Amino acid sequence: MSPFQYTDFPELANVDTHTAHHGNRLEDLRLVTGTGKYTADWNLPGQLYACFVRSDRAHAEIVSVDVSGARQHPGVARVYTGEDALRAGYDKFFVIVNWPGRGGEHMKKPARPSLAVGKVRHVGDAVAMVIADSPVAAQDAAELVTVEYRDLPAVVTVEEAMAEGAPQLHDDAPGNLSFDFEGGSEDAVKAALANAAHVTRARLEITRVAPSPLELRASNVEYDAQADVYHVYTCIQGINMLRKQLSFATDVPEEKIIVHAQDVGGSFGQRSAAYPEHCMQMLAARELGKPVKWVSTRAEGFMTDTHGRANTVTGELALDRDGKFLGLRIDWLADMGAYLSATGSASHTRNPNACMTGVYRIPALYGRFRLIFTNTVPVAAYRGAGRPDIAYVIERLVSQAAAELKLDPAELRRRNFLPPEAFPYKTPTGSTYENADMPAILEKALGLADWKGFPKRRAQSEKQGKLRGIGIATVIENTGAGLFPKDQVAIECGADGTVTAYTVAHSSGQGHETTFAMVIAGALGIPIEKVRVREGIHDKGLIGNHTGGSRSLVGAGSVCKLAAQKLIEQGRSRAAEELDVEPSQVEYSHGAFHTRGSKKHVRLADLAKNGPFATMTEASVGSTFPNGCHIAEVEIDPETGTTRIAAYNTVDDAGNVINHSVVEGQVHGAVMQGAGQIFCEKVVYDQDTGQLMTGSFMDYCMPRAGMLPDIHIVDHPLPSGNNALGAKGVGEAGCTASLPALANAMMDALRPLGIQHLDMPFTPATVWGAIRAARKN
């Protein structure tokens, strides 16, 4: 079957996919031929250039900042310091979390000047900004800024930061604790653990990673003095999300900030936030009367773009004599870095709490989540935003429990699944899972992976001197939530028959221009070539959420369908006048209105010839819960510690699938990112000095295509009833399941040697060292 025969979504069965033949996306030609437009491509008349002076130490008092040499350098327009940031009132940034924590205490949100004042708190903290008439002049002048520091001890791990007598990053966050949050019932879990026949315990590191989108972070800011409006050109995940944050940080009303973006080269959560650079460029553009452009270097990206994950979690799983789960206790230490980001705190409290039961019936749950400041780059949402982390903890515990009890890990899961008849299921931590059929998904995945044939494959590997392991993960995640209460989509029909849709959800590689166009073309019954999707157009004044949390198709995509249907209904009465009949007699199909038994018809384009033919539709969508099962096999060379992913199989319930090629691309890419974290990615800081040791791709290892030469992806759609498309989202599913599936496969391969625990990343050196130590024992 061609991927463009949509048995999952019958309304799309008649879509003409000539342009999108063979699975090609509508936007691909532009993107792969170099004709896209990214932030660095925006150039404005008379623009100046910014360069930032950054701290070369992790924790120090600022004794003085001497900018006299830089000011005198040819081409320099101005040099800004932290005092200028304070003068402008730029000392705060938006944080999503606004709910109380343990004991009713609220989050500590220390000030963060856009340029450091008094102290620097991580390597890369911005101390000054030089504005000049060329990038080279700005860089040369920045080297003439002299900063005198008084060094302070640094802490780069949560354990160090929490220790008695540890250096304090912020005076108003004693003990370096920003937030102490809890979910579930502590007493219920204590009782479950006390009455358990078996308790599995593990302490797991979910490493700090650098998201590293292909496009470097950049921005160009222009101030229109006559209109008193700022134009911000930057890489984003949505114009409304960024505008709201910039308004909060600068006290400029939202309506006075216009955000512009076209193509965005990757985001993964890192592009959802306002950064200090944005704010200082706004200040300089207003005071100097010229646009101010800044493009990061990759080195700056490593030490200033928000990082991801960075959690240390202790878990305890209680089981009865039959292997049924009784309770789960989680102690979660989240490294927030030196400052709070907009999304990091929510990612490591709300999201894991929402899915703490996983896909299992666990009567008693309790999680304690502590957010800790360290002298490192701030942490924000990263593909999955806490959901892969909690799935990793749960699934590692379940597979470890199976090994300890000498049970098949698939069978232990089967015994504890939430059965299909339990849905909708209210979890002990307050979430309501809509629907899932984990038993069916498991059986499909076991068949796809030839689970029963694994012993034979393991024996074949052993004959070749290799270790082979199989790992499984059955997961669920909450998606669809947004910062704004609803999503709006506008549709306009032109006299040439072109239908243009406007949305504020912003693609950074997800393929919105194709998927949304397919939804609209399917609803209108017109060729997909006739549909154009435009994102982030400020003039339309649309309310809506940014792209993130696997919500774009669920939210904006669903509203695209509703808007197309509304356009038909609006057109019916206008067509009735043209056809000289009652509206109730008018039928619609394939882009035209007609009456039964008559050859006369009125096309959508005809209705636009006599004036604007447009509509705007909005809707609020509820959370959805995509779920699935991933099974991985690995083969390890014990003499070198190198690992090969021998097989990878996925069965995912993403609800109704609109475009299989896009879904497969999302799953494949997310699995690759998970594999990168499992096998090679890790941000490393020197424990004594706080210096970043992985500040380039020479030291920070990224996943390569050869790591995952083959992957089998299968759908198991159970439609959602919470949105018009029946979609559940898929953008993060691959990360959520691949972390535990691959780690469990590694432990399955190593456990026969007596190796009971290893943390990610499973680098050749780590694996070889563990094998060598086990052989010595």
Backbone phi and psi for residue 102, each to the nearest 5 degrees, phi listed first: -60, 130
Average pLDDT over residues 735-756: 98
Backbone phi and psi for residue 239, each to the nearest 5 degrees, phi listed first: -70, -35
Please write the tens of the pLDDT for every residue from 213-224: 999 999 999 999
From 619, 652, 687, give the residue that closes a domain.
619
Q: How far is CA 383 from CA 266, 307, 380, in A?
A: 11, 11, 10
Spatial contact of 471 and 747, defined as CB atoms under 8 Å apart: yes
Q: Is the pLDDT of residue 6 over 80?
A: no
Listed range (28-32, 159-163, 403-407, 460-464) with the worst mean pLDDT: 28-32
Residue 441 within any structural domain of the chain: yes
- Residue-level pLDDT at 23: 55
The residues pairing with 200 across neighbouring beta strands, listed in sequence order, are 317
Distance CA 471, CA 174 (A): 42
Q: Is the pLDDT of residue 1 over 60?
A: no
Expressed as residue numbers, the domain containing 530 is: 9-19+481-619
Spatial contact of 544 and 505, defined as CB atoms under 8 Å apart: yes
Q: Are 467 and 486 found together in one domain? A: no
Please write the tens of the pLDDT for every residue from 61-108: 999 999 999 999 999 999 999 999 999 999 999 999 999 999 999 999
- Amino acid present at 694: T
Residue 136 within any structural domain of the chain: no
Distance CA 689, CA 207 (A): 19
Q: Are 659 and 734 found together in one domain? A: yes
* Residue 705: DSSP 8-state: G
From 586, 619, 652, give the residue that closes a domain.
619
Q: Are 447 and 543 found together in one domain? A: no
Question: What would the two tokens of residue 497 be?
Answer: 């028959």
Spatial contact of 350 and 179, defined as CB atoms under 8 Å apart: no
Distance CA 470, CA 454 (A): 8
Q: Are 470 and 493 found together in one domain? A: no
Average pLDDT over residues 1-11: 33
SS (H, E, C) 335-373: EEECCCCCCHHHHCCHHHHHCCCCCECCCEEEEEEEEEE
- Residue-level pLDDT at 481: 72
Please write the tens of the pLDDT for every residue from 148-172: 999 999 999 999 999 999 999 999 9
For residues 281, 283, 286, 291, the Cα torsion angle rounded to the nearest 10 degrees is: -10
Residue 460 within any structural domain of the chain: yes
Residue 155 within any structural domain of the chain: no
Q: Are 654 and 579 found together in one domain? A: no
Residue 645 within any structural domain of the chain: yes
Q: Are 582 and 604 found together in one domain? A: yes
Can you say whether the dihedral through the CA atoms of 51, 242, 724, 11 is positive or negative?
A: negative
Distance CA 31, CA 510 (A): 12
Residues 6+ apart with CB under 8 A from 278: 219, 221, 232, 234, 242, 246, 249
Q: Are 630 and 777 found together in one domain? A: yes
Q: Are 630 and 718 found together in one domain? A: yes
Average pLDDT over residues 317-324: 98
The residues pairing with 317 across neighbouring beta strands, listed in sequence order, are 200, 328
What's the total number of domains in the chain? 2
Rounded to the nearest integer, the mean pLDDT of the chain is: 94
The candidate with the shortest Cα–Cα distance to 499, out of 564, 552, 561, is 564
Q: Is the pLDDT of residue 764 over 80?
A: yes
Average pLDDT over residues 587-610: 91
Average pLDDT over residues 633-642: 98
Residue 650 within any structural domain of the chain: yes
Distance CA 480, CA 670 (A): 18
Buried b (16+ CB within 10 A) or exposed e, 393-402: bbbbbbbbbb
The candidate with the shortest Cα–Cα distance to 209, out of 678, 686, 705, is 678
The residues pairing with 205 across neighbouring beta strands, listed in sequence order, are 312
Can you say whether the dihedral through the CA atoms of 521, 524, 529, 532 is positive or negative?
A: negative
Spatial contact of 449 and 628, defined as CB atoms under 8 Å apart: no
Spatial contact of 615 and 569, defined as CB atoms under 8 Å apart: no
Residues 6+ apart with CB under 8 A from 242: 232, 234, 236, 259, 272, 273, 274, 278, 546
Q: Are 646 and 766 found together in one domain? A: yes
From 619, 651, 677, give the residue that closes a domain.
619
Average pLDDT over residues 335-360: 96
Task: Please name the residue that has the structure tokens 């079957």.
Answer: 1
Average pLDDT over residues 485-502: 94
- Residue-level pLDDT at 22: 42
* CATH code: domain of residue 14: 3.30.365.10
Q: Are 638 and 767 found together in one domain? A: yes
Please write the tens of the pLDDT for every residue from 684-741: 999 999 999 999 999 999 999 899 989 999 999 999 999 999 999 999 999 999 999 9
Backbone phi and psi for residue 188, each to the nearest 5 degrees, phi listed first: -65, -40
Residue 85 within any structural domain of the chain: no
Please write the tens of the pLDDT for every residue from 258-270: 999 999 999 999 9
Backbone phi and psi for residue 156, each to the nearest 5 degrees, phi listed first: -120, 0
Residue 200 within any structural domain of the chain: no
Q: Is the pLDDT of residue 397 over 80?
A: yes
- Residue-level pLDDT at 18: 36
For residues 733, 736, 742, 747, the Cα torsion angle rounded to the nearest 10 degrees is: -150
Q: Are 589 and 638 found together in one domain? A: no
Q: Are 594 and 470 found together in one domain? A: no
Is the N-terminal amide bond of 455 cis, ω within 30° of 0?
no
- Residue-level pLDDT at 24: 76
Q: Is the pLDDT of residue 482 over 90?
A: no
The pTM of the full predicted model, rounded to 2 decimals, is 0.95
